[in-house]
Structure 1
């Protein structure tokens, strides 16, 4: 279909065409308006900018966690950003572990990560291409912090620029995923649920062994001290043995205390 439009009504006509078919390219829009391809692309670019001239197209933004996806296959989208290696995991900030990317503090932490602001700017440029995308997905390991925060920040920026945006956080509500440690290939990732220290009694099993080894050293030194005392050994022998026995006794008492785990620190 070709429409002959004057300069006065060309923009309104182009807006109506795009509302009926948001997938029109600049060249196709130019042919429909009976103008050059260059003019059509320029007009499309203007209509894809901010303001009320934006075509009726909604951009879907998706955050997800690769470890929650079957086979770690990302959801279908026009562009998928895997930030697992691109941005460091903000979970090192212990105060955000129980929060998700919807929380302003988590967003601040993620945005301060080197490369995060540049990625958002790049995605905005991509979203505003003349033949812009209909969906963008961002994924991290669990989809709780990096991906969720980035999509939320991207959505706010795009809405501020006049875009119609729908946001879907697929895995932000799930517990944080703990990835397998090095050498643990084939081990399924586990969820970081509420942990109870020494739930399996491992500390209790380790404490007797520590106590026995500590008492062994103390016992040996004590026997030597008794032998020296009974044989009336001179002070240069008995005094060092007495000091050594005291040190061994203190070490034994310290070993009676259960060891501290990483979660106790």
Structure 2
């Protein structure tokens, strides 16, 4: 998988992020382009984290892994610099959230390895093109994200609950959404649950753990997809001395096009 010729939308969006002009969620930005969740860890934890991703491919589909100390990701974009090109980062120390900067250049180290993980924002374009409404985009909100009672498969110090995104849909649209998103395994694929949120440990849809709440209207079903924020829950469990992630909803915009990730 190699980045082809980026559209002006991806370049413009990254430039706005890099200069601090855009510091919010990236849902709806550079619509045709793949967006990625970001996890940056010291090299001595990178092997365990890669195994965690391999054991949990639904929430953690890996799009790229950097060399230690290298802030560039040429397979995702010729000019991408992971130190500046995410709207908002999260800095973790011993599993506790320590800061949410818009630039991590001052924190960069020679032993840091970057993982970019597929994001459901990519399959949203296919849903929209099929005529399926997405309420959080219509309302210019971040997608709602919830921690579940579903355990992920552990690897080394990494373990924790599956995190999911939720989009309300009419039953017929939910069936169509299953068909469409199953074509995109590199960005979470088909839903992991449809219907009663209590069955996966979600008590109140109006109070997401991350992102913004959206209403589920009468006659609609909540539809849940595995989410790339899952590694952040695993990091809270592992409590590494130091690591960096993206802030939920504030993604890395790549030069890859969403249609390139379709498996059929």
TM bucket, shorter chain = under 0.3
Name the one with the larger strand percent.
2
Taking structure 1 as the reference length, the TM-score comes to 0.20
Taking structure 2 as the reference length, the TM-score comes to 0.20
